[in-house]
A and B are shown apart, each in its own frame.
Chain A
Amino acid sequence: MTETPPPTTRARSAEPARVVVKHHPLVRLTHWVNVPVLFGLIASGLAIYWAAPVFLHPRDPVTGSRDYLVDLGAAVAHVLHDRGGDPRSWIYDHVSLGTGMLARALRLHWALAYVFMLNGALYLIGLIAGGGWRALLPRLSDVADARAMLRFYLGVVPMAIRRRPWPHPVIRSKYNALQRAAYFSMSVAGVLVILSGWAMHKPIQFGWLERLFVNYDGARIVHFVCLLVLGSFVVPHVILVIADGWDTFRSMVVGWSARLKEARHE
């Protein structure tokens, strides 16, 4: 562009660095607080679920099980040749606090649930204060953009093997359509998990909320589905952050990115 004399090394270190402002401090704080809190809520929640599973089938004459999670646990233990414990409680022993500790799990769950709600409120404040909420709103163009992103993700590995160029689709907003859909649905799942949690916890006081989920078991099912949605977000989220690189990870710690517009996916 413009002809400027190359700066000396000394001047270069004194010259300011240009960064892109990414995440509000409250968004970063609540993001990291969410990691252990969600783990704890899932672990204690499944330990509560163990006491009275909502997804039941008629008693199996062989295993004596009525709980689909018991069946799944037994299958996993069988595949892994895990003989360490009771195969029927494999899921509860590995994904939850364990079996037979309802009182403890309930106390942990309430304590963490209040932290989660407070954290969610701080997140929303951070989203509004930093203006980040606009980047999370779904748009009409997202359908086509999401298809392009899916096509890109599916092609990354085959094209790398065939050594063919495989450019990233042009993204001109903070997030691509798939990210936006994921982050937006996380907020929705977060709100739903809190509402269905209150509907089960205080079904008389919040009778209107219980009716919103049809009945008591409706709230339990929604709560469980939210667990699956929130949990299944984590794996691709972590993989994609690792794939995207250090700058993306760092931006959630420090709040800025060194990737200027021209250096990014265009």
Chain B
Amino acid sequence: MSERDPDEERAENEGMPPPRDAVNATGGGVPPARDDMPPTPGAMPSSGDATLRPEEGTSAEPPPPPPAPRPGFLAERPEVERDVPRRALAAATRRDFLLLAGGVLATAAGAWWLLPDATRARLVGMSGRDHLDSLAARVGLSRARRERTLDRALTFDDDVAEALTSPDRRVRTYARSEVTPLRNNFHGQTPGPEILAGWSLTLSGLASRRVERLPLATLLARFPLHGQVTRLVCVEGWSAVAWWGGLRFADLLAAFPPAPSARWAALRSVVSLDAYGRPEPYYVSIDLKTARHPQTLLATHHDGRPLTLAHGAPLRLVAPMKLGLKNIKALTDIAYSADEPADYWNERGYSKYDGL
């Protein structure tokens, strides 16, 4: 790959300085330019250079060696030397260093502004943070604006993902032998078995304008069950390959069509509990395009057995093209709507798109 000038190699190997005329002609540039070679653009002889150029010297020397081959496409080109008026050089240098200083200041302010409150408090202490914060707010770098900016980064990322999504893409499926242990990562407690008795799925926002209540037996009798082995990916970064069984959300949508204006489904679990065991409904938003995807299941089975309470008995969403936090457990309500409904984790600073 190395395309050094053969002359230089020789000079280096024999411990000799490069030919004298070469040094003179390019003012020390490398490789030595010969008269039979096109001059390199930067080594163009300038006014000061011409006086140094020994025109008569070249003709008096022995016949020049055969011209070096043109440098290959990948070969490094000689560095370009240029004569710049000192005043212009000083002005350009001043400008560039001022730009650097401005950039450093802007970066420091921007970094301070974007850092989480807890991190800032750890860095400079509570009172120091509040001092700097009021200073930053004075130049318009308020917390509210920071949240808006970061939210915009999130929605920009979601828009990019949605633009990339092809409607007919399929989620990668795995062999049953590739199944990995599935952990229950829900932040709240697992509801007790009492939720199973009298459980039914409530559908609203339907084209019929009725509210349907479907017991599990009805769902299982009315819709065919499908199995699939897919990866569940958590927003935290872990993932698990799991074997699911259940009815297709698309089949439920076909049997109970939503109102024509509906674009979204609000999926809720009213039996969900918080970390202290108190009732705390969990809710996610799912767009109907995702709901109609053939690999979006309302799962009733995991690992070939009915769902356990820890994994969302009696019915949960399995939408493997969305992060795990959208895959709501112990589903009790589905409400279709024209506008995007609330999403539990979106209200806590996460994306509400969560597409994979």
Instruction: Check: B207 CB closer than 8 A to any chain A CB.
Output: no
Cβ-defined partner of A174 (8 Å) among B79, B164, B231, B356 = B79
Instruction: Check: B144 CB closer than 8 A to any chain A CB.
Output: no
A2 proximity list for chain B (CB < 8 A): 24, 51-52, 54
Instruction: Check: B211 CB closer than 8 A to any chain A CB.
Output: no
A255 proximity list for chain B (CB < 8 A): 96
A188 to chain B, nearest CB (A): 16
Contact with A along B1-29 (1 / 0, CB 8 A): 11010001000100000000001100111
| Known contacts A16-B48, A140-B2, A253 near B350 by CB under 8 Å | no
Instruction: Check: A173 CB closer than 8 A to any chain B CB.
Output: yes
| Known contacts A114-B156, A205-B161, A217-B239, A16 near B79 by CB under 8 Å | no
The total of interchain contacts (Cβ-Cβ below 8 angstroms) comes to 182
On chain B, which size bracket covers the interface? 35 or more
B122 proximity list for chain A (CB < 8 A): 93, 98
Instruction: Check: A18 CB closer than 8 A to any chain B CB.
Output: yes
Cβ-defined partner of B46 (8 Å) among A16, A19, A107, A205 = A16
Q: Is the CB of A260 within 8 A of B28?
A: yes
Instruction: Check: A57 CB closer than 8 A to any chain B CB.
Output: no
Cβ-defined partner of B93 (8 Å) among A4, A22, A200, A254 = A254
Cβ-defined partner of A110 (8 Å) among B27, B29, B154, B238 = B154
B153 to chain A, nearest CB (A): 3
| Known contacts A16-B85, A17-B89, A204-B172, A172 near B107 by CB under 8 Å | no
Instruction: Check: A104 CB closer than 8 A to any chain B CB.
Output: yes
Cβ-defined partner of A32 (8 Å) among B2, B83, B100 = B100
Q: Is the CB of B235 within 8 A of A102?
A: yes
Query: Of B70-78, B260-268, B308-316, which stretch is located at the interface?
Result: B70-78
Instruction: Check: A49 CB closer than 8 A to any chain B CB.
Output: yes
Contact with B along A38-66 (1 / 0, CB 8 A): 00100000001101101000000000000
Q: Is the CB of B76 within 8 A of A202?
A: no
A220 proximity list for chain B (CB < 8 A): 237
Instruction: Check: A191 CB closer than 8 A to any chain B CB.
Output: no
B104 to chain A, nearest CB (A): 8
Q: Is the CB of B111 within 8 A of A36?
A: yes
Instruction: Check: A15 CB closer than 8 A to any chain B CB.
Output: yes
Q: Is the CB of B171 within 8 A of A204?
A: yes
Cβ-defined partner of B118 (8 Å) among A33, A101, A111, A114 = A101
Cβ-defined partner of B150 (8 Å) among A13, A111, A216, A260 = A111
Cβ-defined partner of A202 (8 Å) among B83, B114, B161 = B161
Q: Is the CB of B114 within 8 A of A108?
A: yes
B80 proximity list for chain A (CB < 8 A): 20-21
Q: Is the CB of A101 within 8 A of B116?
A: yes
Q: Is the CB of B238 within 8 A of A52?
A: yes
Instruction: Check: A190 CB closer than 8 A to any chain B CB.
Output: no
A101 proximity list for chain B (CB < 8 A): 116, 118-119
Instruction: Check: B55 CB closer than 8 A to any chain A CB.
Output: no
B303 proximity list for chain A (CB < 8 A): none
Greatest chain B CB density within 10 A among A15, A102, A103 is at A103
User: Residue of A at shortest CB range from B345?
Assistant: A103
Query: Of A70-78, A131-139, A155-163, A234-242, which stretch is located at the interface?
Result: A131-139
Alpha-carbon distance A107/B169, docked complex (angstroms): 26
Q: Is the CB of B237 within 8 A of A103?
A: no
Instruction: Check: B151 CB closer than 8 A to any chain A CB.
Output: yes
A33 proximity list for chain B (CB < 8 A): 103
Q: Is the CB of B153 within 8 A of A114?
A: yes
Instruction: Check: B278 CB closer than 8 A to any chain A CB.
Output: no
Contact with A along B321-356 (1 / 0, CB 8 A): 100000000000000000000000100111100011
Q: Is the CB of B119 within 8 A of A97?
A: yes
| Known contacts A51-B237, A255-B96, A170 near B153 by CB under 8 Å | no
Instruction: Check: B92 CB closer than 8 A to any chain A CB.
Output: yes
Q: Is the CB of B8 within 8 A of A172?
A: yes
A139 proximity list for chain B (CB < 8 A): 1-2
User: Residue of B at shortest CB range from A100?
Assistant: B118
Top 10 closest A-B pairs, CB basis? A103-B349, A111-B153, A139-B1, A52-B237, A51-B236, A52-B236, A16-B83, A139-B2, A52-B238, A107-B150
Q: Could you list 8 A-B pairs, sorted by A, with CB under 8 Å?
A: A2-B24, A32-B100, A33-B103, A101-B118, A114-B153, A134-B74, A170-B12, A262-B28
Residues in B lying within 8 Å of A, measured CB to CB: 1-2, 4, 8, 12, 23-24, 27-30, 42, 46, 48, 51-52, 54, 74-77, 79-86, 89, 92-93, 96-97, 100, 103, 107, 110-111, 114-116, 118-119, 122, 149-151, 153-154, 156-157, 161, 164-166, 169, 171-172, 231, 233-239, 320-321, 345, 348-351, 355-356
